[in-house]
Amino acid sequence: MVIVSLSVYESDFCFRGDIMKEFYLMRHGETRFNVQHRLQGVCDAPLTEVGIEQAKMAGQYLAKQEPIFDHVFTSTSERASDTLEIVTGRTDYERLKGLKGQDFGIFEGQPEYLTPKTLPDGQGYGDFFVQFGGESTTQVRDRMELTVRAIMESVAEGSKSLLVSHGPSILQFCKRVLEPVPDISGLKNCSILHFTYDQGQFELVSIYNPVEEEYIYGGKE
């Protein structure tokens, strides 16, 4: 098991090694709350039958790419860990709170129509949920970058990793580390983002939607 320590990055990011590392960052499969159009960040809902099939399709796609994952990580949410287990057939993963969905405070589990419109330029809901005990967009970006960067600095050079997280968290991670940022708003369930990490820099290689069997960014690798 890889021990991911975040403390070393709290004041400054430290980089070691100069050999490119790869990781696949994917969203979990469809859940009951997705179907009901309810907010789910830190609260949880089980995968639907459709979500299970989506995860199987993602697993088939990754198997064709022939990545041998040296490490597998998931958020602490059951919908994410269940997705990972279906995709890989593995249980030797590490669960990290830093990969969790955005905390919507007292809006957790509530209908999506109760929320305000999202802000322009991928800013999500800004600070709206903070007053209700939730997270701001900036807080999500901070912890996602901190967590993913810590993972990449902890794994061996030349390694490949799989990380299962959540749509809004993945979007805000991209907003933080990529320039320019591709249009990935409305990221579909089980979409897979392929990244490289080299000398502290993230590069997005491709985004694949296994359900529609199409690349929405980049191309066949």
At 69-105, the pLDDT tens digits run 999 999 999 999 999 999 999 999 999 999 999 999 9
Structure tokens at 144: 């996602």
Q: Any idea what the Cα angle at residue 71 is, between residues 145 and 217, rounded to 5°? A: 55
Residue 6 lies in a domain: no
Q: What is the DSSP code (8-state) at residue 121?
A: T
Residue 8 lies in a domain: no
Residue 201 lies in a domain: yes
Residue 117 lies in a domain: no
Residue 107 lies in a domain: no
Predicted confidence band at 198 (pLDDT cuts at 50, 70, 90)?
Answer: very high
Query: pLDDT tens digits, residue range 147-192?
Result: 999 999 999 999 999 999 999 999 999 999 999 888 887 799 999 9
Query: pLDDT tens digits, residue range 125-149?
Result: 999 999 999 999 999 999 999 999 9
Predicted confidence band at 9 (pLDDT cuts at 50, 70, 90)?
Answer: very low
CATH number for 147: 3.40.50.1240
Residue 63 lies in a domain: yes
Residue 68 lies in a domain: yes
Task: Please check whether residue 55 is in contact with residue 48, taking contact to mean a CB–CB distance below 8 angstroms.
Answer: no
> What's the total number of domains in the chain?
1
Mean pLDDT of 49-61: 98
Residue 106 has pLDDT above 60, yes or no: yes
Range of the domain at 199: 18-36+47-101+138-217
Q: Where are the alpha helices (DSSP H) in 66-189?
A: 78-88, 137-154, 167-177
Residue 132 lies in a domain: no
